[in-house]
Amino acid sequence: MTRSDSEPADLRPRRRSTAVRPSDDTLLDGVLSVFAAHGFDNVTMEQLATAAETSKPTLYAHFGTKEQLFDACVRREAASLLEWMRESYRRAQGFDLDRHIATTTRALFDFAATHTEGFHVLFGAPTAGRSHEARTATIRSVADTVAELIRHEYGGADLRWGASADFCAAAITDIGVRGVQQALAQNLDFTAAANLTISIIVAAMRHLDPDAVRAVDADAESATRTEPSHPAEPDYAPPTGDRPPPSLSPSTPGNEVLDTAIRMFLRGERLELHAVATELGISRTTIYRRFGTREDLLGLAIAHQFEHVITTIDSRCTSRGAHRISEVFDRALRRLAADPALRTYLQNESPAALRLVTQADGPVHRGSVALVERLIQRAQEQDGYRPPIDRVTLAFALVRLGESFLYSNAVSDAEGDIDHLLRVQTTLLGVAAPVGGP
């Protein structure tokens, strides 16, 4: 029995490789085009095996059922799109909102142009039903980042941007995706379509009605206030004093939000508000009203870890006076410089990471200075240490020295000259040589 000549070319038999066992990615590369063109329901495992130049038993061995094979394909393409968009965010760090929107919107069009089959699997009509969950999670992650940009760029005394930022971000993301879909469906010039999409989004953001923004936020805050409140006040204060405390659910006190953020950071994951909210079963708006933006929560998480490292090392030191400060400084810097989570963050989100860590009124810098100042004060009061300059200035100088080392050590992806740094540190402290070591 022969196949009909009318059968699509991508479903006709190919020579199957008898070489080494194929990898999952190789097999997914083979079936991607079939799923993208024909969807899930209109193809068989035999046709998918033929497209991947392998056998049905091999596909079953690697992925299980056809449903599991399709799910693996969708998850891989969703992860590729998300990483593509995150890279565009890194390139756009420091831009104003208009340029950021332009950069990330073009990135979405570029992904569709270079990964057309992957985009079709995620957003195409033949696969829309079965790719819904992965597609929704990806869009939500993109929208979360847009929402943080809106809060950062447009926030102020007049607009606080609670639920309204999530609302606008969802609309912006939807416009971007639908713009790509139209460009593909009508075979439009991608550059022209991207520029038109950008102009629509930018024009919409520039002409927002502030009263409409406030109305959305007021309604969301009213709904939140009806939730049962936790009997005890959370341990962590909000980053700014003008943001009202929220009513977290009884099972989710404020410290659980911070603890979850810290765990994500230590795993080397990109901290996203929606991921924290999903894990705890609360809304992103609730987290925002308590902790602020993604950067605010991330800053608190890093500050907490810095404090944990410094206080743990200090509790194990036996030296006294300025030598104890030197030993804590030495060991803490070595510990933080070797920390993979901190290195990953500084590398992946530079220069935004540098701004977050070194911002004078931010939780990381402010908390670090306060910790070092307390070390100096204790040395003064208990050991008679007399610093060569006033305590506050000395603490500030030591922290700035450490920040510079940690950042340059991470972004250069090489071990810095910590011994030279510590000679400068001991000079500031007025002692002869550093005490301690790794």
8-state DSSP, 52:
T
* Whether the predicted pLDDT of 438 surpasses 80: no
* Whether the predicted pLDDT of 301 surpasses 70: yes
We find that the CATH architecture of domain 300-429 is Orthogonal Bundle (1.10)
Distance from the Cα of residue 373 to its chain's centroid: 32
Per DSSP, the three-state class of 69 is helix
- pLDDT: is 404 or 222 the higher one? 404
* Whether the predicted pLDDT of 238 surpasses 60: no
Report the half-sphere exposure of 23 (CA within 13 A, side-chain side).
Answer: 3
- pLDDT: is 247 or 115 the higher one? 115
Q: What angle do CA 191, 192, 194 make, to 5 degrees?
A: 65
**Region 330-338 average pLDDT:** 87
8-state DSSP, 398:
H
Ordered by start, the domain boundaries in the chain are 21-140+166-188, 300-429
Q: Distance of CA 181 to CAs 106, 110, 415, Å?
A: 14, 13, 46
* Whether the predicted pLDDT of 324 surpasses 50: yes
Instruction: Measure the CA–CA gap between 366 and 286, rounded to whole angstroms.
Output: 25
* Whether the predicted pLDDT of 112 surpasses 90: yes
* Whether the predicted pLDDT of 156 surpasses 70: no
| Percent of the chain topping pLDDT 70 | 83
pLDDT band of residue 50 (cuts 50, 70, 90) is very high
Residue 179 one-letter amino acid: G
pLDDT band of residue 234 (cuts 50, 70, 90) is very low
pLDDT band of residue 202 (cuts 50, 70, 90) is very high
Residue 281: per-residue pLDDT: 82
Residue range 32-41, pLDDT digits in tens: 999 999 888 8
* Whether the predicted pLDDT of 57 surpasses 80: yes
**Region 98-123 average pLDDT:** 92
Residue 2: per-residue pLDDT: 41
**Region 216-234 average pLDDT:** 54
Residue 412: per-residue pLDDT: 67
Residue 272 · residue 318 · CB < 8 Å: no
3-state secondary structure 309-375: HHHHHHHCCCCCHHHHHHHHHHHHHHHHHCCHHHHHHHHHCCCHHHHHHHCCCCHHHHHHHHHHHHH
Instruction: Measure the CA–CA gap between 328 and 315, rounded to whole angstroms.
Output: 9
Instruction: Measure the CA–CA gap between 45 and 65, rounded to whole angstroms.
Output: 9
Burial class (CB in 10 A: 0-12, 13-18, 19+), 364: buried
Q: In the predicted model, what is the mean pLDDT of the chain?
A: 80
CATH numeric code, 21-140+166-188: 1.10.357.10
| Percent of the chain topping pLDDT 90 | 26
Least confident of 164-178, 247-261, 338-352, 418-432: 247-261
* Whether the predicted pLDDT of 144 surpasses 50: yes
Residue 358: per-residue pLDDT: 87
Residue 242: per-residue pLDDT: 39
